[in-house]
Amino acid sequence: MMVSIDNKREVVYIASRIFLDSATFLSPGAVAVRDGAVVAAGRPREVERSLSRGFERKEFPGAAILPGLVNAHTHLQIPRLTIPAGGAAGSSSFVEWILGVIAWRSNATPEEFRKNFETAAAEAISFGTTAVGEISKPDAGLYGGGLLRARLFAEGIGFTPETAREFFSAVEADLARLEECGRESRGLVAPGLSPHTLYTVGPALLALIGELASRKGIPACLHLAESPAEMEFLSTGGGSVATRLYPAVGRDVSWFRGIGMSIPSYLEKMGLLREGLLLVHNVHLSREDIGILRQRGARFVLCPRSNAAHGNGLPDVTHFVDTGIPFALGTDSLGSVPDVSVWEEMRAARSIYRGSLSDADLCRTLFRAATGNGAAALGLAGGSLRSGGAADFILVDNPKGDGGGAITNLVERTNGINILMTVVGGSSRFERA
């Protein structure tokens, strides 16, 4: 049930347990909220002792308070799809699936985009998501209501040199709309830029978007190293991207012979490799390239369920975890996965880990990826419960357990049915009836 309350109310929520972040949990716990921010969080007696008179007291015995989940990469306007050329997304080639998405998007009405967004956003909130990294095309105005905290990326697509200026003007116009949306949302929404991929954004447009992101001081988000087809095109200019995708959309890319250098070098040349660069998927990056990209300020989002659905391979979760490279998690769109549950994404990442970390420590790392790391990657408030931080949190069934068992139970057992309430910016967006 979607609800909304006045975020100026002073409320203290008390539960059987509170997870302040991935490493700190107390039993019992409390969080006090005023004007959309956390006033205090910790043990109930200490929290209430710090408050002035007038706070409403809400008690949730048998529940736990957690930071809200961050879905660091999604496309909420894309619905569940069946691709005529090859069946469902999981059984068709990746290029055929892309063509199916293009065909759907070109025929969809504004009302369809709005309905898709509302349905997916409601689902995400019911799973405990409070913040998203969203590719906003085509309708940024859907986010003006502030249902979710969001980094909205204006998407640019255009590979051929002669179209670069035209498509860049469209990106600038989209970004202006996102900036206005941010002002209307009272701080819940922030803008970003997304050159879609290195095989759909040519060097001319890529450089223009990189310069704009740098000048504006905003993040740039790039789908990267997602599929073998992409890697072949970047290496040689050939493969199904050249022979199937571009002929189908009427573009000649016969002039392209690959990027001619490593991916980190290419991103640096295009002006994108800096703090604020968000790289999504990263399935086919070498460990060396991952290290170089991280050293230069890039952050990473892994989407293991989407990658598996398309048969594109799996991200190197083991390397990210064992080397301590921070990563976030994203569901991608409902065109790729059955739901937008970040809990399922945590469990998918857990299932492909092959290192020696204990299960409790792995679950702690994955919960951090789904909360604090996601917020940091998007440059958004949230991800932990601290005084002065964003009042983005959820109430869930208490996972119980002591020590590492609590975090393991939380990651292993929690799903939508366990979410009791989702609060974004101090306002309740979902309460289970």
In a domain, 1, yes or no: no
Examine the domain organization and report whether 331 and 390 are in the same domain.
no
In a domain, 2, yes or no: no
Distance CA 360, CA 351 (A): 13
**Using one digit for the tens of pLDDT, what is the confidence trace for 335-378?**
999 999 999 999 999 999 999 999 999 999 999 999 999 999 99
Q: Among 362, 378, 394, which residue terminates a domain?
A: 378
Examine the domain organization and report whether 191 and 47 are in the same domain.
no
Domain limits at 87? Answer: 69-378
**Using one digit for the tens of pLDDT, what is the confidence trace for 253-303?**
999 999 999 999 999 999 999 999 999 999 999 999 999 999 999 999 999
**Using one digit for the tens of pLDDT, what is the confidence trace for 7-65?**
558 999 999 999 999 999 999 999 999 999 999 999 999 999 999 888 999 999 999 99
**Looking at the predicted structure, is the pLDDT value of residue 421 above 50?**
yes
Count of helices and strands (H, E) across the chain: 16, 18
In a domain, 248, yes or no: yes
Examine the domain organization and report whether 317 and 367 are in the same domain.
yes
Examine the domain organization and report whether 20 and 125 are in the same domain.
no
Give, as one character, the DSSP assignment of residue 79. -
Q: Among 355, 378, 401, which residue terminates a domain?
A: 378
In a domain, 4, yes or no: no
Closest CA to 398 of 61, 70, 40, 24: 61
Examine the domain organization and report whether 308 and 173 are in the same domain.
yes
**In total, how many domains does the chain have?**
2
**Residues, the chain, total?**
433
Cis peptide bond upstream of 28, omega within 30 = yes
Q: Given the structure tokens 């295009």, which residue do they identify?
A: 270
pTM of the model: 0.95
213 three-state secondary structure: helix
User: What pLDDT is stored for residue 5 in this prediction?
Assistant: 46
Examine the domain organization and report whether 25 and 171 are in the same domain.
no
In a domain, 138, yes or no: yes
Distance CA 128, CA 113 (A): 23
Examine the domain organization and report whether 194 and 314 are in the same domain.
yes
Residue 58 one-letter amino acid? K
Q: Among 378, 404, 419, which residue terminates a domain?
A: 378
Examine the domain organization and report whether 392 and 368 are in the same domain.
no
**Looking at the predicted structure, is the pLDDT value of residue 186 above 70?**
yes
Examine the domain organization and report whether 24 and 90 are in the same domain.
no
Examine the domain organization and report whether 107 and 16 are in the same domain.
no
Examine the domain organization and report whether 93 and 55 are in the same domain.
no
Examine the domain organization and report whether 159 and 282 are in the same domain.
yes
